[in-house]
A and B are shown apart, each in its own frame.
Chain A
């Protein structure tokens, strides 16, 4: 039912091999840093795609769950826990908080849902700012070790302090995330998410427990977002309230919409494209954000479906054009 055409498979295979060998070709630590953070944001953006793109619920608390993950990992590793235990725990904590938030938020829909989640996001931010004993307040938690080395027979432990090691760690988690999302989205289980996005009343009338389904989608999305946040904490080595602020949500949102909502590659493309554009614009100095703001408006007007959505449309047009050409040929 859900198989992919052969050229797509080839392209994906090529991309995978390219990703494996990428560290050999990165020119400097700066480029490498951007690649690593983009991969990380791709994880978080993909998870936002599940709740917003596929389930149609504009959760503006998404960045907050990213932050919760970062804080949980920071707090636990500071307290001496292994990163590999802290990371899944951070996902579970975010899922738990998400469940509580969902109890309130899923009573509302549309804009109202967006606002309720926004409010919760702000509240989590304020807690991070003010619960100084636990979160370190504004200073946050700093001086974190990189991910605990994995002991490995014969080769010695795998360390995560170098950029290549961090890269492979993030790449592996991104691939895992995409695998999970792919399995979910291309299944009847995932179809129910899209059904809710499309017509919640009808979904309800067809025996779908819309509340529970939304909650599951929310939980998966939050879990993954927190994992991304947890890795972010070890890579930066410091967590402060900016990791949980509404700006994080807005960034993911911008990545997602400009990349192409409700498409798996769109989220990844967006998470790569925007930071790179932003870095490229550094030469504009004071005028950079001015330009970026205008650019955002122009792009959203010209590519309402996002970059990948735009590609898809163009592709479809080419196919249609080819078909019409061949049919004319056969007429001739």
Chain B
């Protein structure tokens, strides 16, 4: 592409080290989004046609490297939209994304609520905050009449957040945390020590999770140690992925596991099926929500640029986003609803495996505060055959 007719999208994130797969999944989503934008002829702004291009750098979750990469993306590659999927590297990048003359839009793929608290105008967080799922899990557990919960969640910012959030919600709901045995899902592969300790307390259910493959191991090891109860997984772990890698798609081995819904059940069949096939073909992997969400985010950005009539003024582009949402499901797959401060509004969807089968997922409209709100939201999104619930997120204000 001739210079001046390209919109450069930047990415910095873990492409080596323990979290490399996660970083890759993000990049893959962006790549597919950009392919589709360009295949549709790019965008037209101010009479000029623009195509999109992607530049990726590895920062192996090192903040120094992330900042260097961001600087490089901004000043060398001319990227004004920089994606990053880890809170630890997002935080320092948010320190420099408002510097005069080198502003960029921080596209933060993180469910950590801390990003929202920083109120950085040049930031957009992509996935729903993980607290969304906490509410659904608590509600479900209460319905089942469970009391004792054991947690074996990954160590790390993200895992810490999950544990804290779930613990307070569960205790408030009258439950009890009988064991809290976090483990490093990135470096450890044997959890019998943590699990034995947790199971000794005879929990009704367990909150587990971190990277998918390791989470699968935890399920397997817990079952082998004789645990009969159910599992809730944090949103990082993916049901379909665990089924594939850990259990050779034998879903009976995953009975009683609840997690975020598999991509297939997040969108209407006719739009999601081709996407899933494409992932498998292009990347040899089943689709993950990182693929879907980043794909959606980049397509929204493209639309917002056209709407705002600029490819450079990030403030205007961000301001145009609510105007282009919600988008046609054919373009965007997922029901992105709106911007809420610095975060996309997107329903949270969970799903359980029972009798060797995926059950109908449950969607949470976490941003709705009243029944009226809720009804409006339900009608505003395409029908994907889910049961819908309303668990408004406390303290989640615009």
The answer to whether A and B touch in the complex, with CB atoms under 8 Å apart, is yes
Q: Could you list which residues of chain A lie within 8 angstroms of chain B, going by C-beta atoms?
A: 28-30, 32-34, 37, 129-130, 132, 137-140, 142-144, 232, 236-238, 240, 242-243, 247, 279, 282, 285-286, 288-289
Q: Write the nearest CB–CB distance from B177 to chain A, whole angstroms.
A: 16
Q: Write the nearest CB–CB distance from A141 to chain B, whole angstroms.
A: 9
Question: CB within 8 A of A142: which of B61, B72, B75, B92?
Answer: B92
* Chain B residues closer than 8 Å to A243, beta-carbon distance: 63
Q: Determine if A240 and B72 form an interchain contact, defined as CB atoms under 8 angstroms apart.
A: no
Residue in A34, A139, A285 whose Cβ sees the most chain B Cβ within 10 Å: A139
* Chain A residues closer than 8 Å to B61, beta-carbon distance: 242
Q: Write the nearest CB–CB distance from B163 to chain A, whole angstroms.
A: 10
Q: With A238-B63, A240-B63, A242-B88 known to touch, is A142 a contact of B157 (CB < 8 Å)?
A: no
Question: CB within 8 A of B114: which of A32, A142, A232, A242?
Answer: A142
Q: Determine if B62 and A138 form an interchain contact, defined as CB atoms under 8 angstroms apart.
A: no
Interface residues of B in 55-105 (CB under 8 A from A): 56-58, 61-64, 67-68, 71-72, 74-76, 87-88, 91-92, 94-96, 99, 102
Q: Determine if B161 and A139 form an interchain contact, defined as CB atoms under 8 angstroms apart.
A: yes
Q: Report, as a range, how many residues of chain B touch the other chain.
A: 35 or more
**How many interface contacts (CB-CB < 8 Å) are there between A and B?**
91
Q: Determine if A139 and B160 form an interchain contact, defined as CB atoms under 8 angstroms apart.
A: yes
B335 located at the interface, meaning its Cβ lies under 8 Å from any Cβ of chain A in the complex: no
Q: Determine if A240 and B71 form an interchain contact, defined as CB atoms under 8 angstroms apart.
A: no
* Bound-state Cα–Cα, A131 to B158, Å: 15
Q: Determine if B74 and A236 form an interchain contact, defined as CB atoms under 8 angstroms apart.
A: no
Q: Determine if A236 and B75 form an interchain contact, defined as CB atoms under 8 angstroms apart.
A: no
25 contacts between A and B (CB under 8 A): A29-B74, A29-B102, A30-B75, A37-B68, A129-B155, A137-B157, A138-B158, A139-B87, A139-B91, A139-B157, A139-B161, A140-B88, A140-B91, A143-B91, A143-B94, A144-B95, A236-B63, A236-B64, A236-B92, A237-B92, A238-B63, A238-B92, A240-B88, A243-B63, A289-B16
Q: Determine if B74 and A30 form an interchain contact, defined as CB atoms under 8 angstroms apart.
A: yes
Q: Write the nearest CB–CB distance from A29 to chain B, whole angstroms.
A: 5
Q: Write the nearest CB–CB distance from B197 to chain A, whole angstroms.
A: 17
* Chain A residues closer than 8 Å to B64, beta-carbon distance: 37, 232, 236
| Inter-chain pairs besides A34-B68, A143-B91, A247-B62, 12 sampled, C-beta below 8 Å | A28-B76, A30-B71, A33-B68, A33-B71, A130-B155, A132-B160, A139-B114, A236-B67, A237-B94, A238-B88, A238-B92, A279-B68
B219 located at the interface, meaning its Cβ lies under 8 Å from any Cβ of chain A in the complex: no
A237 nearest in chain B by CB position: B95
B17 nearest in chain A by CB position: A289
Q: Could you list which residues of chain B lie within 8 angstroms of chain A, going by C-beta atoms?
A: 15-16, 56-58, 61-64, 67-68, 71-72, 74-76, 87-88, 91-92, 94-96, 99, 102, 112, 114, 118, 155-161
A144 nearest in chain B by CB position: B95
* Chain A residues closer than 8 Å to B75, beta-carbon distance: 28-30
Q: Write the nearest CB–CB distance from A243 to chain B, whole angstroms.
A: 7
Q: Write the nearest CB–CB distance from B60 to chain A, whole angstroms.
A: 8
Q: Determine if A138 and B88 form an interchain contact, defined as CB atoms under 8 angstroms apart.
A: yes
* Chain A residues closer than 8 Å to B160, beta-carbon distance: 132, 137-139
Q: With A29-B71, A30-B71, A34-B68 known to touch, is A240 a contact of B102 (CB < 8 Å)?
A: no
* Chain B residues closer than 8 Å to A132, beta-carbon distance: 160
* Bound-state Cα–Cα, A286 to B72, Å: 18
Q: Write the nearest CB–CB distance from B181 to chain A, whole angstroms.
A: 13
* Bound-state Cα–Cα, A215 to B180, Å: 40
B93 nearest in chain A by CB position: A238
Q: With A30-B76, A129-B155, A138-B160 known to touch, is A242 a contact of B63 (CB < 8 Å)?
A: yes
* Bound-state Cα–Cα, A92 to B151, Å: 39
* Chain B residues closer than 8 Å to A240, beta-carbon distance: 63, 88, 91, 157
* Bound-state Cα–Cα, A236 to B155, Å: 24
Residue in A32, A238, A282 whose Cβ sees the most chain B Cβ within 10 Å: A238
Q: Write the nearest CB–CB distance from A102 to chain B, whole angstroms.
A: 28
* Chain B residues closer than 8 Å to A29, beta-carbon distance: 71, 74-75, 99, 102
* Bound-state Cα–Cα, A288 to B71, Å: 19
* Chain A residues closer than 8 Å to B159, beta-carbon distance: 138
Q: Write the nearest CB–CB distance from A104 to chain B, whole angstroms.
A: 25
* Chain A residues closer than 8 Å to B76, beta-carbon distance: 28, 30
Question: CB within 8 A of B95: which of A34, A129, A236, A285?
Answer: A236
* Bound-state Cα–Cα, A285 to B56, Å: 8
Q: Determine if B68 and A30 form an interchain contact, defined as CB atoms under 8 angstroms apart.
A: yes
Q: With A29-B75, A37-B68, A238-B95 known to touch, is A139 a contact of B88 (CB < 8 Å)?
A: yes
* Bound-state Cα–Cα, A287 to B312, Å: 32
Residue in B112, B157, B158 whose Cβ sees the most chain A Cβ within 10 Å: B157
The 3 closest A-B pairs by CB, nearest first: A138-B157, A237-B95, A142-B91
Residue in B64, B72, B112, B157 whose Cβ sees the most chain A Cβ within 10 Å: B64
* Chain B residues closer than 8 Å to A238, beta-carbon distance: 63, 88, 91-92, 95
Q: Determine if B74 and A286 form an interchain contact, defined as CB atoms under 8 angstroms apart.
A: no
* Bound-state Cα–Cα, A34 to B68, Å: 7
* Bound-state Cα–Cα, A289 to B16, Å: 8
A161 nearest in chain B by CB position: B99
Q: Write the nearest CB–CB distance from B173 to chain A, whole angstroms.
A: 23
* Chain B residues closer than 8 Å to A137, beta-carbon distance: 157, 160
B157 nearest in chain A by CB position: A138
Residue in B74, B95, B96 whose Cβ sees the most chain A Cβ within 10 Å: B95
* Bound-state Cα–Cα, A138 to B61, Å: 12
* Bound-state Cα–Cα, A3 to B102, Å: 46
* Bound-state Cα–Cα, A225 to B160, Å: 29
* Chain B residues closer than 8 Å to A139, beta-carbon distance: 87-88, 91, 112, 114, 157, 160-161
Residue in A34, A137, A285 whose Cβ sees the most chain B Cβ within 10 Å: A137
Q: Determine if B157 and A279 form an interchain contact, defined as CB atoms under 8 angstroms apart.
A: no
* Bound-state Cα–Cα, A140 to B114, Å: 11
Question: CB within 8 A of A138: which of B102, B118, B156?
Answer: B156
* Bound-state Cα–Cα, A247 to B63, Å: 13
* Bound-state Cα–Cα, A139 to B90, Å: 10
Q: Write the nearest CB–CB distance from B186 to chain A, whole angstroms.
A: 11
* Chain A residues closer than 8 Å to B72, beta-carbon distance: 30, 279, 282
